[in-house]
Amino acid sequence: MAKKRSNAPAVHPAFADVPHEPGAPKPDPVVVAHGILRKFGGLTAVDVDHLEIQRNAITALIGPNGAGKSTLFNLLTGFDRPQNGAWEFNGHSLSSRSPAQVARAGMVRTFQLTKALSRMTVLENMRLGAAGQRGENIFAALLQPLWGAQEEAHTERALALLERFKLLEKKDDYAGELSGGQRKLLEMARALMSEPEIVMLDEPMAGVNPALTESLLDHIVQLRDEGVTVLFVEHDMHMVRRISDWVVVMAEGRIIAEGPPHSVMSNPAVQDAYLGAHHDTDLSEGQ
Amino acid sequence: MDLLIDTLQQLFSPLTAAFAIAAIGLNVHFGLTGLLNMGHAGFMLIGAYGYAIATIQGAPIWLAVIISLAGAGLFALLLGWPTLKLRGDYLAIVTIAAAEMVRLVGRTQALEPWTGASTGITGKEYKEPFEATSPFPERLIPVGPFELHGTASSSWWLTLVSWSVVALLIVLYWLLQRSPWGRVLRGIREDEDAVRSLGKNVYSFKMQALVLGGMIGALGGVSYALGAQVHPDSMGRPTTFLIWTLLLLGGAASVFGPALGSMLFLATQFLVKGVLDVFVPDDIVSAPQAETISLAFVGITLMLLIIFRPQGILGKRRELAING
Ligand SMILES: Nc1ncnc2c1ncn2[C@@H]1O[C@H](COP(=O)(O)OP(=O)(O)OP(=O)(O)O)[C@@H](O)[C@H]1O
Ligand SMILES: [Mg+2]
């Protein structure tokens, strides 16, 4: 299998002066988390001292299985509550906000285990993602003229996104009839329907075929160029290197390293976390 | 022949309409939103009590209807408040218990002056104002092979009014299920967390559905009371299961399913009882036994449905084939 080699690693300018260490402060953070602790019984799933996510950049969150990446996502988006800690989004505290409030604030996430709404069509899934729908008021719902035009606009955006995610021919199928990879795509497209300020993608490319992955990676880069902040969890190091501007490495609940994608993997702490004693294995060739 | 005509008449009787209305309410709960309401008869009973008691106290019809709607709405808020944040099974348990409580409270001797305790409220105490609005003459009126009174109790007038309500509610359901509001509810039925992650306040939407469906259930109760009487024991758990059967037979989440299910099922049940009464000698199956057998028919139908046609008559097979 031929792999694209990334060219000479160009550090994203925003990160030029950011130290390569856990909890490093960023010039313009959109999310700032501090002292986040989540224990499940005796197991410490997340114990993050400090984390900042740079605005308008692509940050990858990586780490071995069970490192606490998904749990951190759940905490930041209100789906789980930490025992301790505070975090802000755009300077406003999001601690103790409900998932819906977090999403409405502009921070939308996807799930590692996809949550396609099975007995709804692909297009209906997409429309549901749009924010601020007038027809979601029970009284306005009865009067189509009040929301018809808005619905039309949402449908148009949905179709454009579906086209981009190669799901257009599937628009009238039930989401439950899609393959696993297609569901991943649908969920990502649906999250984008609300035009979020930051998208948090939990393993967006797991199960997506490599040819499509390439075009989606381009799409994620394009999202960043349009001003969206992207935070994603991924095990595929090729993808991480290809699109991320910054990498945060977690292991056993803690952030053990931060740095630009081309160098962070050579950090000994990271090699330790991933491979234990097998230091000689070259991580840079993917996993 | 008489039996056949009576059966046909059952198809469009006010009682059938009352159950169709109640089933539309349950369809908002279960079909649209996936809420497991196992105490729908409780909403009907609140509606019936509300209407009857308010009328007896001198309230005009419109006010009596509003009172019964408000009663059911309040009941829904009370039930939903602690349970809708939890998994669906909790709502099921709480609704079973709460509906039983409504029935038992209605039966308590202490409330006898209002509810008539276990004897209930007889029709003549509250039907008069509604019957007075009838434009039809006060006598039996034959229409084709069917004959009903113009105004009294299960009359042509009540038939007309209650089926108009059914029609209006079908339109209401249709409008809502195709709207973005209905789409959120269907999303909640599929996966609450996904809907949360898209910024929708799931709790509020579930509450709206619970209140709306409950109010529609109360209208079913009012309609039932106008054709019969208010009697706590006639709206217990068996009635809830009957409404579930009607809904599942017609097809949950379908627009016409609840009405169709009610018509087919209640007419068939009537026919079964009639056949047992007329053709089977009394020493083999007595009249009370025929009644019991026709009730057992509810359970058997429900089982057969779930085994052979889980999507009901109007439900979409394709939708059901999808799991997860
Ligand atoms: N609801 C829960 N109850 C108990 N333990 C949990 C729960 N959720 C997660 N954990 C534990 O917390 C730890 C972190 O899990 P998490 O899902 O965050 O890992 P992850 O980094 O996303 O892993 P993966 O890469 O495999 O998805 C694991 O040890 C897991 O067993
Ligand atoms: Mg995970």
Inter-chain CB proximity B180 and A147 less than 8 Å: yes
Spatial separation of the C-alpha atoms in residues B21 and B161, rounded to whole Å: 12
- Best A108, A112, A122, A136 residue to mutate vs chain B (most B CBs within 10 Å): A136
The first and second tokens of residue A93, run together, are 């505290």
Amino acid B308: pLDDT: 86
Within a 10 A sphere around the Cβ of B289, how many other Cβ atoms?
13
Q: Which residue of B has its CA nearest to A187?
A: B194
Q: Cβ contacts of residue A223 below 8 Å, gap of 6+?
A: A192, A199, A230
Residues 304-323 of B with CB under 8 A from A: 318-319, 322-323
Distance from CA of A262 to the nearest CA of B (A): 32
pLDDT for the residue numbered A70: 96
A142 burial level (CB within 10 Å; 0-12, 13-18, 19+) = middle
Other CB atoms closer than 10 Å to residue B128's CB: what's the count?
11
Nearest CA to ligand 1 atom 3: A40
- Residue pointed to by tokens 């209208």: B219
Contacts for A70 with CB less than 8 Å, ≥ 6 apart: A112, A202, A233
Which pLDDT score, from 0 to 100, does residue A7 have?
Answer: 46
How many Cβ atoms sit within 10 Å of the Cβ of residue A23?
15
Residue B303 contacts residue B311 (beta carbons within 8 Å): no
Q: 3-class secondary structure for A92-111?
A: EECCCCCHHHHHHHCEEECC
Cβ-contact A138, B176 below 8 angstroms: yes
Partner A contacted by B179 (CB < 8 A): yes
Nearest CA in chain B to A145: B179
CB contact under 8 A, A100 and B172: no
Q: Does the CB of B197 have a partner CB in chain A at under 8 Å? A: yes
Pocket test of ligand 1: the residue of A69, A73, A110, A256 to mutate, having most ligand atoms within 8 Å of its CB, is A69
Residues in CB range of A36: below 8 A, 6 or more apart: A46, A47, A48, A51, A72, A75, A82, A84, A85, A86, A87
Instruction: Give the Cα separation of A189 and A82 in Å (integer).
Output: 29
What is the structure's pLDDT at A13? Answer: 85
Take atom 19 of ligand 1 and give the residue whose Cα is closest. A66
Query: What phi and psi, each to the nearest 5 degrees, are found at residue A15?
Result: -100, 5
Q: How many CB atoms lie within 10 A of CB B28?
A: 29
Q: A-chain residues within 8 Å CB-CB of B184?
A: 128, 136
Place of tokens 């009294």: B152
Q: What are the chain B neighbours of A144 within 8 Å (beta carbons)?
A: 175, 179
Closest B-chain CA to A124: B183
Residue A11 pLDDT more than 90? no
CATH number at residue B216: 1.10.3470
Name which of B199, B212, B322 is nearest A176 (Cβ-Cβ).
B322
What's the alpha-carbon Rg for chain A, to the nearest Å? Answer: 19
CB-CB neighbours of B73 under 10 Å: 18
- Cα separation, B195 vs A128, whole angstroms: 8
pLDDT digits (tens, 9 = 90+) for B137-175: 888 999 888 888 888 888 999 999 999 999 999 999 999
Q: How many domains does chain B have?
A: 1
Distance CA A189, CA A208 (A): 14
**pLDDT confidence tier of residue A9, bands split at 50, 70 and 90:** low
Domain residue limits, chain A: 14-116+195-274, 120-177
> Is there a contact between B199 and A194 if contact means CB atoms under 8 Å apart?
yes
Q: What is the ipTM of this complex?
A: 0.88
Is the Cβ of B187 closer than 8 Å to some Cβ of chain A? yes
Taking CB atoms and an 8 Å cutoff, what residues of chain B touch A190?
198
Q: What confidence tens digit (pLDDT) does each residue in A13-38 have?
A: 888 889 999 999 999 999 999 999 99
State which H helix or E strand residue A30 sits in: strand A29-40
Residue nearest to atom 11 of ligand 1 (CA): A45
Which residue CA neighbors atom 22 of ligand 1 most closely?
A: A70
Judge contact between B276 and B296, C-beta under 8 A: no
Range of the domain at B111: 2-323
Burial class (CB in 10 A: 0-12, 13-18, 19+), A164: middle
CA of A265 to the centre of ligand 1 (A): 22
pLDDT given at position A283: 54
B199 close to A (CB below 8 A)? yes
Question: Any chain A CB within 8 A of the CB of B29?
Answer: no
**Better pLDDT: A250 or A219:** A250
User: How distant is the Cα of B209 from the closest Cα of chain A, in angstroms?
Assistant: 9
A124 contacts B186? CB cut-off 8 A? yes
Of A84-88, A216-220, B27-31, B182-186, minimum mean pLDDT range = A216-220
Q: Which residues pair with A39 in a beta bridge?
A: A44
At residue A8, the pLDDT reads 44
Amino acid A286: pLDDT: 44
**B201 in contact with A, Cβ within 8 Å:** yes
* Predicted pLDDT of residue A215: 81
pLDDT of residue B1: 67
Cβ–Cβ < 8 Å for B147, B135: no
- Rounded CA-CA distance A106/B63 in Å is 45
pLDDT at A1 over 70: no
- pTM here? 0.92
Residues 6+ apart with CB under 8 A from A15: A26, A54, A57, A245, A246, A260
Counting residues of chain A whose pLDDT is more than 70, the rounded percentage is 92
* For residue A83, pLDDT beyond 70: yes
Per-residue CA distances from B101 to A256, B106, B225 (Å): 57, 8, 19
Which segments of chain B have a pLDDT < 50? Answer: 324
Residues B292, A283: Cα–Cα separation, whole Å: 74
Q: Which residue's entry shows tokens 């595929």? A: A236
Contact assignment for B191 to A177 by CB distance below 8 Å: no
Distance CA A28, CA A45 (A): 28
Question: At residue A256, what are phi and psi to the nearest 5 degrees?
Answer: -105, -15
Looking at every residue in chain A, the average pLDDT score rounds to 89
Is B207 in the A-facing interface, judged by CB distances under 8 Å? no
**Per-residue confidence band for A4, with pLDDT thresholds at 50, 70 and 90:** very low
Residues of B in contact with A193 (CB under 8 A): 198
The whole-number pLDDT of residue A6 equals 45
Q: Provide the CATH topology of domain A14-116+195-274.
A: Rossmann fold (3.40.50)
Tell which residue, A102, A54, A88, has the closest CA to residue A228: A54
Q: Do the chains contact at A118 and B190, CB–CB below 8 Å?
A: yes
**Of B161, B133, B137, the residue nearest B150 (C-alpha):** B137
Q: Give B40 to chain A, closest Cα distance, Å.
A: 22
Minimal CA–CA distance to A156: which of A185, A136, A130?
A130
The answer for B253, left when phi > 0, alpha when psi is -120 to 50, beta otherwise, is left
Tokens of B224: 């039932």
The string of pLDDT tens digits covering residues A138-154 is 999 999 999 999 999 99
